[in-house]
Structure 1
Amino acid sequence: MPNNSRPTSPHLTAGAGPTERQAEPLKHQTDIARAAALIADPSRARILKGLADGRALPASVLAGEAGIGAATASVHLAKLVEGELVTVQQRGRHRYYRLTGPDVSAALEALALIAPPLAITSLKQSNRANALHQARSCYDHLAGRLGVALMRGLLERGVLTGSDGIHRPELAVRDRPSSYGHDSQYELTGTGRAMLAELGVDTDRLPPRRPAIRYCVDWSEHQHHLAGGLGAVLTARLFVLDWVRWGLSPRVVHLTDTGTRGLKRTLGVTLT
């Protein structure tokens, strides 16, 4: 398992990374066919895509995303829960569903790389596709142009060290688009801790049961964006500050005017 203990040095690092099984799951006995069968149904695939931003949603909303009735959605959701791709939580009279974890979202992103694109037949679909490229969630952290620009700002201001955030396919050993990265090791510096503290991010209180610092190779930008515990906590803080807001479509994120000024002032981040 990753080393999640508090480091004694002023640097916070990604540590030893994922376990052998997590890093190379195809070398182990895993029931790929079962997971693939659950995702293969078009309605279930649309439900999973609707949950890919990490939020918990009620069955009624997911039925709308999938274009199916409530009763049919309940059947599909029960199968996804049984298959451990989705979890369910009771909130009063309603049940809320969310992906089991970021690995499910990463798997969906990876499948999207080899899946044929859906035909864009309306202005609404075109606008949503452009919005996803501009700024989106990758489970619980930021991706797209905004996520990559944020990573670049963290590196240029010395918050993180270890690489330059550029994905070079010709030099990559294990890194692939739409997947967690492994070829680079990023560290949080002492200066970075102080800068993030000014934003209200306490780096001593990152989620304990996940790597503190990870990165993904962004599928649309083919550069690194910040993931892991730090990526999740920083993203959550940007929502609290109202620097980013959820869009109307699943996963779409909008940078607010306040966020545009704030990110430029603190991290030199500009989004064109």
Structure 2
Amino acid sequence: MKEGPDIARIAALIGDPARANMLTALMTGKALTATELAAEAGITNQTASSHLAKLDAGGLLKPLKQGRHKYFSLANDDVAQVLEGLMGLAAKSGHLRTRTGPKDASLRKARVCYNHLAGDMGIRMFDSFMARGFLETADEALLLTESGSAFAERFGIDVATLRSAKSPLCKECLDWSARRSHLAGSLGRAILSQIESRGWARRAPNSRAVIFTPPGEKAFEAEFTLKTG
């Protein structure tokens, strides 16, 4: 018998179309009910409950009960990163489920990926951080430099609190639409939260798209420039 991780089991859990749709819906980072996930997958509530039980047993979901309602979210960042990687592979291979259109253009420009900024604007921000020396790689890990920490503090982020948490501060996440990196981890989530708090952008309803206001986009461009000085 072969030994090692059973990737076939995980792949089978993700590979079912209904379960794939539900997992993709949870990439916004928002917890959803079984009824909401059933609607995303286009299946009945009873069928959705069966699928959710399998995903929960497989360690891909984290259920949360609040009052009479039960919510589901992705189990952790690792699950989100695998899903984003699969999206990149599917897009690169030409396996797209919808025609290119205005909605797709919005997703390519800016979208949420498990509560951090992805799309062209997320890539631009990551490139800016790398060019300005705010991030560096060491032993395949992504690290926040002293100058990067100072920038984040000026941007209104409590870096010390983020460092004290168990979740990784900085992670490199491959963007499925451009197959280039954007910033994940607790810092990536905190930056998107600040962008929303400042009123620069909002999350589109029933979509992963992040919509920037014209002033917000100008402020973003000014803050996350590629200048090295």
| Alpha-carbon distance between aligned partners in 2 of 1:39 and 1:129, rounded to the nearest angstrom | 23
Q: Give 5+ residue unaligned stretches, structure 1.
A: 1-27, 164-181
Q: Offset of 1:259 from its aligned partner?
A: 2.2
> 8 Å contact 1:160–1:186 — kept in the other structure?
no
Partner of 2:107: 132
User: Which letter maps to 1:194?
Assistant: A
Q: Which runs of at least 4 in structure 1 moved beyond 6 Å after TM superposition? A: none
Q: CA RMSD in A?
A: 2.6
Match of residue 57, structure 1, among 15, 19, 32 = 32
Unaligned runs of 5+ in 2: none
Pick one of 124, 130, 148 that aligns with 1:192: 148
TM-score by length of 1: 0.72
TM normalised by structure 2 equals 0.84
Q: Deviations over 1:184-226 (max 9, x none)?
A: 6544333333332222111111162132222123232233211
Within the candidate set 183, 188, 191, 1:234 is matched to 191
Contact 2:88 2:177 in 1 (8 A): no
Deviations 1:227-247 (CA, angstroms, capped at 9, x unpaired): 222112222222222222111
How many aligned positions are there? 221
Amino acid at match of 2:190: V
Asked if 1 retains the 8 angstrom alpha-carbon contact of 2:200 and 2:219, the reply is yes
Secondary structure at 1:211 match in 2:
coil
Q: 2:96 aligns with which of 111, 118, 126?
A: 118
Give per-residue Cα distances to partners, 1:57-88, cap 9 Å, x unaligned.
Answer: 11222111111122221221122111111111
Higher RCO (CA < 8 A, seq sep 6+):
1
Structure 2 distance, partners of 1:230, 1:206, is 7
Task: Give the drift of 1:99.
Answer: 0.5
Aligned counterpart, 1:262:
219
> Aligned partners of 2:85, 2:146: CA distance in 1, in Å?
34
- Cα contact 2:87–2:176 (8 A) shared by 1: no
Q: Which residue of 1 aligns with 2:182?
A: 225
1:136-178 deviations in Å (ceiling 9; x for gaps) = 122221111010111133344x361437xxxxxxxxxxxxxxx
Which structure is higher in helix share? 2
1:183 positional shift: 7.7
The equivalent position to 2:159 in structure 1, one of 185, 194, 203, is 203
